[in-house]
Amino acid sequence: MIQRLSGVLLEKRPTEIVVDVQQVGYGLLVPTSTFEVLPKLGDQVSLFTYLHVREDILKLYGFASRNERTVFRIMLAVSGVGPKLALAALSAMRPGEIKRHVTAGDAGFLTRIPGVGKKTAERLVIELRDRLAKVDLGGDDGTADLGGQSVADALAALEALGYSRAGADKALRNVMKSHPDASTAEELIRMALREN
């Protein structure tokens, strides 16, 4: 099984990339959260991977973090959940957010994932609750690692302004690095908009 790939980023599109590993180009499908943290073309990249095998096809998936890959694998164990839906979930929210909402039984929040209706969300909660509760994501609980309620409010506001979840998250992380003294949601939003 291919666990990790490191090489030169040759091509990138929002859900698909090509990585050159010693003159072999590997095509990987990626969530938008991974796509948005990729380096520029021609730079080195290292991704956690998952090889999905079906009788008629092999597909390689790439993830920026081990947590993304872990949640992806756990979601695939649910009957009726395929790689497309698992990738959509990771594109819509962070691994810690998925865990937090599933373990809290918040099926309504999971309907934000494209392709997930009320019944599917309820089934995901039932089938994933125990599995995700046992997984240690190393403190990745969504937005708490960024700085609490102000960051959560800023994240929601940036999404309302058209940012993707991963794009808003990345913008806020950059602001927190360059302006660690920023504490209110208004400051964070203003600085994130200014830097983009």
Angle among Cα 71, 69, 35 to the nearest 5 degrees reads 115
pLDDT at 25 over 50: yes
Question: Using one digit for the tens of pLDDT, what is the confidence trace for 50-63?
Answer: 999 988 889 999 99
pLDDT-derived band at 141, boundaries 50, 70, 90: very low
Q: Identity (one letter) of the amino acid at 12?
A: K
Residue 142 CA to chain centroid, in angstroms?
A: 10
Mean pLDDT score across all residues of the chain: 84
The proportion of the chain whose per-residue pLDDT surpasses 70, expressed as a percent, equals: 92
Most confident of 112-121, 144-153, 161-170: 112-121
**CATH code of the domain containing 42:** 2.40.50.140
**CATH code of the domain containing 166:** 1.10.8.10
Examine the domain organization and report whether 48 and 72 are in the same domain: no
Q: Is residue 138 part of a domain?
A: no
Angle among Cα 118, 167, 81 to the nearest 5 degrees reads 35
**Residue 177 and residue 195 in contact, taking contact as beta carbons nearer than 8 Å:** no
**Residue 60 and residue 24 in contact, taking contact as beta carbons nearer than 8 Å:** no
pLDDT at 138 over 70: no
Least confident among 42-51, 52-61, 152-161: 152-161
Q: In which domain, by residue range, is 121 found?
A: 67-133
Q: CA 87 to CA 128: how far, in whole Å?
A: 16
Q: Is residue 173 part of a domain?
A: yes
Q: Is residue 105 part of a domain?
A: yes
* 150 vs 193, higher pLDDT: 193
